[in-house]
Amino acid sequence: MSLDFKKESRYKKYVLSVDRILGSFETDVKEWPDIITFLTRLQKCILANDGIPSVPRKRLIFKRLSQCLNGALPAGVHQKTLEVYEVVLGRVSECKLVDNFGMGCFVDLIVRGVYMYAFLGFYGYASMNVKPLWLSVMEKYVVCLGGKIGYCMRNVILSLFGGMEEEGSEYFEKTVELMNELKRSGGSFYDGVWEAIEMNESHRIGGYNYVNKNGDSENEEEEEKSIKGDEKEILIETLKRMIRDKSKMIRGYKVMISLMDKSEIGNILIKEIFYESISNLMRIKKEEEFEIILQTANMFYEICDTFEIWEMLFQKLKNISNEFYLEFEFIFDHLKIFDDEAI
């Protein structure tokens, strides 16, 4: 694509108009309604120059848009900001920017560039009525790049984790759909998933929910091979933290249930989790939520290898203590572990 249009007077007028609007951000914006006025002017200016295959001052525009996604601002500002993102990204889409500057520039600007961090992290604090537009922009201008995202895959995947933290939530399935689109594109998808899990503890559950949700996929063997030693440790430690937290125990046991049919994890899960689980259940025995949590815990124990648990208990008999007697009593009184055949 030729860059001759930049020499035309209409493009120079376009640049001057954008400069004036961007300058008003520092001089005229005092309250949040002023931000909507600023965004509306910018949006109209870009749309009015539809015949020009570029947007001037892209980096400054993205910087201002990032500022407009501040979590302290109302949803109306966020909505208008995402609308402007959609217009700008549509104008500097892959085909146009690749022709002009190469794919690396597009990825750097759209995904890795510092001015897109606010956009990629927005879902976590977005209001419900704004989330669909964010997902739409992600789908049309970021996820569609697929494997071309390359080393930026981790950041994109991490941005989607927030939509998968609660199974059954309104946008859970749509977010899973976007993750699957990335997966089908090939590239370093599973490396990106586990790197994202490792780098951000607060959103790990979204990553595990995705892995669990797709455990019966055609690529299950690939998923299992992708869970390396360090990643198993991250998974185990995350599950331990979940079952220590009363508010997350049920979710933690559900995650473990779905992992038991994965040989890479199921074979080591009970050995790593068993005593941690028992001590945490004993700790909440007298609390109101105990019976509900115990029901889910027993769903997990019912699919565990009974003989493996017996072996662990016999090993502990070698260093018997009062604590062990209390644990043993609790196990027999509350957990559905031992059937008649095993005993």
pLDDT above 90 coverage of the chain, percent: 36
Above 80 in pLDDT, residue 230?
no
Confidence (pLDDT) at 51? 83
pLDDT, mean of residues 141-152: 79
**Tokens (6 digits) for 308:** 């493996």
Mean pLDDT for 94-99 is 43
- One-letter amino acid of 193: V
Q: Which amino acid is at 128?
A: M
Q: What is the pLDDT of residue 116?
A: 73
Among 66, 58, 68, which residue's Cα sits nearest to residue 89? Answer: 58
* Per-residue confidence (pLDDT) for residue 136, from 0 to 100: 96
pLDDT of residue 99: 40
pLDDT of residue 1: 47
As given in the structure block, the two tokens for residue 173 are: 């399935």
- Asked if 211 and 186 count as a contact pair (C-beta separation under 8 A), the reply is no
Question: What number is the average pLDDT over the span 59-83?
Answer: 95
The overall pTM is greater than 0.85: no
Residue 107: predicted pLDDT: 53
Across residues 177-186, what is the average pLDDT?
A: 88
The answer for residues whose C-beta is within 8 angstroms of residue 125's C-beta and 6 or more apart is 71
Predicted confidence (pLDDT) at residue 266 exceeds the cutoff of 60: yes
- Domain residue ranges of the chain, discontinuous segments joined by +: 1-118, 248-343
DSSP state of 261: T
| pLDDT at site 117 | 77
Could you tell me how far CA 50 lies from the centroid of its own chain?
34
Instruction: Decide if pLDDT at 263 tops 70.
Output: no
Instruction: Report the distance separating Cα 215 and Cα 234, nearest Å.
Output: 18
What would the mean pLDDT of 75-102 be, rounded to a whole number?
75
Arithmetic mean of pLDDT over the chain? 81
Query: Could you give the maximum distance between any two Cα atoms of the chain, in Å?
Result: 88
**Tell me, what's the pLDDT at 49?**
92
Give the dihedral sign, CA 329/330/336/342. Answer: negative
Interval 143-150 mean pLDDT = 79
| pLDDT computed for residue 74 by the predictor | 97
Q: What pLDDT is recorded for position 122?
A: 94
Nearest alpha carbon to residue 130 among 79, 172, 165:
79
- pLDDT category at 16 given cuts 50, 70, 90 is very high
Per-residue DSSP letters for 156-214?
Answer: HHHHHHGGGSSTTSTTHHHHHHHHHHHHHT-SSHHHHHHHHHHH-GGGHHHHHHHHHHT
Residue whose C-alpha is closest to residue 166's, from 156, 176, 157: 176
Residue 176 pLDDT: 94
Alpha helix locations (H) across the chain? 9-27, 32-48, 58-68, 75-91, 94-101, 103-107, 117-120, 131-141, 153-161, 172-184, 189-199, 204-213, 220-226, 229-244, 249-259, 263-283, 290-301, 306-317, 322-334
Question: Tens of pLDDT along 187-215?
Answer: 678 778 877 877 777 777 888 788 777 75
Half-sphere exposure of 39 (CA within 13 A, CB side): 26
In this prediction, residue 177 carries a pLDDT of 95
Q: Per mean pLDDT, which range of 161-165, 260-264, 286-290 is the poorest? A: 260-264
